[in-house]
């Protein structure tokens, strides 16, 4: 598997981090873990085709994780040359409970976006799947498991492909479900929104993350979803993690790349 962090930040842009998005290649599969603002532009800069994406996995419905799903759905109705596509390639969209209602409210029942349904018939090239806790999906040789985490109905995902494994936390407070889902994983991609003295909302700081990593025992931890307050303070994350468990630590920036 290959991981490219497209967006390692939050809703507040910095020169090195913006909205959440993580691109995963596994065999012929091309997955997006979250689809926040700027993700399509990062793909364009890296020459990654949005037409080749096979699945999008949304962790929750906050704007910094979903806003690029709308241009993605629209562009898939075209060919890469920009002509109407009579048979667009299927795109799977996984998300937590509420995914169908989210798309209904924002597309089907929205007079300004509903042409995506009426004219472009997005439902004909999209398979929508609401994940249930701990239910396993097998597709394209990938084993996908999800677990609820502590963040506005959000979920974390575990991907396994040919012996390699990756867990993405999405946004969350400290979560026992996350620890269980990620047990022994090769690469743990976990949020670390704020330093502990400035921690707000349903998130973790470097201190909780250090505890999580000590229990999960991943080979590599990729730290993501950093708010701008972390700029020039990232070394503190590395220090906290090194004190709790020895593994490779990558504090992600946009376009950080990793082979699993």
> What is the rounded distance in angstroms from the CA atom of residue 123 to the CA atom of residue 90?
10
**Minimum distance from CB of 68 to Zn ion (Å)?**
14
**Minimum distance from CB of 70 to Zn ion (Å)?**
17
Beta bridge partners of 2: 25, 259
**Minimum distance from CB of 243 to Zn ion (Å)?**
26
Decide: 241 and 208 in contact? Cβ < 8 Å. Answer: no
Stated as kind and residue range, the H or E segment containing 162 is none
**Minimum distance from CB of 18 to Zn ion (Å)?**
11
Between 6 and 260, name the residue whose CB sits nearer to Zn ion: 6
The CA–CA distances, whole Å, from 250 to 56, 84, 198, 256 equal 23, 41, 22, 9
The CA–CA distances, whole Å, from 55 to 10, 24, 26, 110, 191 equal 22, 10, 11, 24, 21
Decide: 138 and 124 in contact? Cβ < 8 Å. Answer: no
Decide: 129 and 137 in contact? Cβ < 8 Å. Answer: yes
Between 149 and 188, name the residue whose CB sits nearer to Zn ion: 149
**Minimum distance from CB of 205 to Zn ion (Å)?**
15
Residue 123 half-sphere exposure toward CB, CA atoms < 13 A: 10
**Minimum distance from CB of 148 to Zn ion (Å)?**
14
- Would you tell me which residues interact with Zn ion (CB under 5 A)? 62, 64, 171
> What is the rounded distance in angstroms from the CA atom of residue 38 to the CA atom of residue 183?
31
Between 17 and 62, name the residue whose CB sits nearer to Zn ion: 62
């Amino acid at each position: 598997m290959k991981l490219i962090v497209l967006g390692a930040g939050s809703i507040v842009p910095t020169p090195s981090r913006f909205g959440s998005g993580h691109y995963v290649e596994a065999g012929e599969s091309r997955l997006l873990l979250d689809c926040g603002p700027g993700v399509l532009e990062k793909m364009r800069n890296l020459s990654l085709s949005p037409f080749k994406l096979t699945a999008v996995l949304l962790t929750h419905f906050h704007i910094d994780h979903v806003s690029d799903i709308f241009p993605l759905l629209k562009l898939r109705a075209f060919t890469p040359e920009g002509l109407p596509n009579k048979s667009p390639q299927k795109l799977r969209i996984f998300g937590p409970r509420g995914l169908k209602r989210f798309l209904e409210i924002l597309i089907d029942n929205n007079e300004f976006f509903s042409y995506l349904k009426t004219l472009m018939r997005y439902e004909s090239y999209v398979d929508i799947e609401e994940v249930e806790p701990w239910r396993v999906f097998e597709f394209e040789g990938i084993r996908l498991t999800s677990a609820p985490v502590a963040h506005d109905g959000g979920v974390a995902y575990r991907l396994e492909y040919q012996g390699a494994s990756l867990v993405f936390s999405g946004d969350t407070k400290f979560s026992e479900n996350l620890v269980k889902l990620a047990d022994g994983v090769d690469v743990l991609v976990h949020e670390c929104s704020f330093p502990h003295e400035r921690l707000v909302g349903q998130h973790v700081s470097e201190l909780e993350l250090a505890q999580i990593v000590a229990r999960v025992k991943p080979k590599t931890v990729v730290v993501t979803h950093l708010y701008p307050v972390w700029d020039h303070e990232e070394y503190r994350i590395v220090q906290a993690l090194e004190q709790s468990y020895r593994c490779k630590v990558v504090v992600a920036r946009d376009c950080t790349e990793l082979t699993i």
